[in-house]
Amino acid sequence: MSLPSPIAPSGTDTPSLELKSVGHRFGGFQVLHDVSFKVPDTGITGLMGPNGSGKTTLFNIISGFLTPTFGEVLFRNRDIRAKSVRQRSLDGLVRTFQTPKVFERLTVAENVMVGAFKSGRSGFFSGLAGLPSAWREVASMREQAWTTARLFDLDGVFDRPSALLTAGQRRLLELARAYQGRPRLLMLDEPSSGLTTIEIEVLIVKLKLLAEEGIAILLVSHDMELMGVTQVVHVLNFGRIIASGTMAEVQEDASVREAYLGV
């Protein structure tokens, strides 16, 4: 059994995401300086750095909550600086947050289905209200949501209110909902925050599954075990990229060790 088919990667050398000399100022304070890197069309790319290094600001710029002061943000080779958060999501750029955001008044099934409704013809709440024009589409989406829930180990709580889920289940639900929207690029902000060791191990398995399904992932995390799933890591410090390479390579980089350990 496999997940519902995502939007297939292009199979070309075109990156999923490319940042070109991105900088940002808050008033007179510059928090990002000439940030440039690429996220490949497949696989898992890491972004790490000490607290206050500019990771959240950069994530907000990529996902559309902020507009960069200068520089370019290209998604699948197109400048997206003028696009809204919703427009980017419809294009396939999806972001999660450090604290899992789920609709607590909805069931697990309904939460997963939310991810599919953005590409459906019927509105989500019209479907829940039972309007005849939406019945058939809702039934199909519920069936797809069940398939996704099983693969994210949520089938046992499929019709349970999401407010009753554990922290680990909430994180898996967020990932399942994001996947249901068929993302091209999935941006994960500290997805292991608040999880137990066992829950992190489960999360690692699911991230590998998503990558194998052809989704590009940009991962921010302080968890070194979780960052071990990345193919390449970019290290940000004081708003600048100070190192790029495999996890093993950046861990041995003198500038990275100084930034984290002061040595």
Flag whether pLDDT at 252 surpasses 50.
yes
The parent domain of residue 77 ranges over 17-102+183-261
Same domain, 251 and 190: yes
Residue 175 lies in a domain: no
Q: What is the pLDDT of residue 185?
A: 96
Residue 48 lies in a domain: yes
Same domain, 95 and 109: no
Q: What is the pLDDT of residue 34?
A: 96
CATH of the domain at 93: 3.40.50.300
Q: What is the pLDDT of residue 99?
A: 83
Residue 195 lies in a domain: yes
Residue 206 lies in a domain: yes
Q: Is the pTM of this model over 0.75?
A: yes
DSSP for 80-142 reads -TT--HHHHHHHTEEE--SS----TTSBHHHHHHHHHHTTSSS-HHHHHTT-HHHHHHHHHHH
**The two three-digit tokens of residue 224, written as one number:** 């070194």
Same domain, 39 and 115: no
Judged by average pLDDT, the poorest of 127-131, 133-137, 190-194, 236-240 is 127-131
Same domain, 251 and 217: yes
Chain segment 66-122, per-residue pLDDT in tens: 999 999 999 999 999 999 999 999 899 999 888 888 999 999 999 998 887 665 555
Same domain, 143 and 87: no
CA distance 95 to 185: 8
Find tokens 């060791």 and name the residue.
197
In this structure, what are the phi and psi dihedrals at residue 30, rounded to the nearest 5 degrees?
-95, 120
Number of separate domains in the chain: 2
Same domain, 37 and 98: yes
Chain segment 221-249, per-residue pLDDT in tens: 988 889 999 999 999 999 999 999 999 99
Same domain, 207 and 227: yes
Alpha carbon dihedral 221, 98, 74, 227, in 10-degree steps, equals: 20
Flag whether pLDDT at 209 surpasses 60.
yes
Same domain, 122 and 195: no
Same domain, 40 and 83: yes
Same domain, 65 and 85: yes
